[in-house]
Structure 1
């Protein structure tokens, strides 16, 4: 559903709802604040299933603030519920924002919104993981677009995120750049609504080697692997190796390839191999 805005209304976002919860359960949870089922919009993921989120419209901002104070971390069923402030624009964008069939979603732009691009995500990361990463900045799954590789449609390790304002986006970038999701540190860059729209409409990266930087074409990667192989640098990583930073792998590979082109370096052990150590420690079956 889409909310009808009216002067002075307040909005909250609830996260952590049981997937079986409906508008009736949310209404009962907030009954003392006069919330009816028509004041509630449930979030859905890109497959059209409940996301565990809901947006609620209150008569005024003080009522929303008091509900957040009283109900944050209280329970519905066996789940404790996290409550965040929201806005009319964010609530409507989120609840209009799901698609069927598992396709990538779009983010309706609204005045004042701002965008960031994330790079370095684990390939297993989901919209929920990204929303949780930015939970202090009011981000829901409906404000996240996951990047995909060209041709294969597999996760690219990128995501685009919409924020309610440029100020909040700047705070999020300052607070989260180079922070971790799982075992990966995440790089955060400014972006635009246009870039986010492009990401949602088609795969975002053409990669010859999964996880390798898009700036390195597949042919160049193969040349570098052949050259680096002359110095014993692994052309790939063994099956079962924990997820590594492919950007570091490709950069180190390029360095080894350059060294291999210098005849004086062939068979030489005098040059520094430290740059590869962080890769090879996590790839015990590989050797330099």
Structure 2
């Protein structure tokens, strides 16, 4: 098998209480849920591509009183089944001018053409390097996930002579760069 082979199977018909794939050496088990409820489906990423054959032999084998369908899964199937990240109100900025102030960043986001008001300057943080100087990164917390999404439309727009990259972020990531 080529080294880029994705060793993954999709299981259908699982008992709703199942938590693991018995008898398989796995890297990851993704139990598919719909609004938090089990669907009886799972994706199992195997450690070794050679285990695919053994996993496929379990097609229509019984788990308790239910027979399980085992299907070869493709990488897009697996990644599309992963839950979407929760909406966030925080964005990360990369490529800020080293001279950018909190007020400069707030003004950058004041854009009525996309329905975006300037964020509260108290919700703008600038990351600094160990020597205390700005490192070109910052974080902005908006009032709503919709405002944060609108802010991301300014991705790669210029602030001074630098273009600023904008990504969805989280409070955890912000805390790693900007300790409180």
Q: TM-score range by the shorter chain?
A: 0.3 to 0.5
Higher relative contact order (CA 8 A, sep 6+): 2
Structure whose residues are more often helix by fraction: 1
More strand, by proportion: 2
TM-score where L is the length of structure 2: 0.47
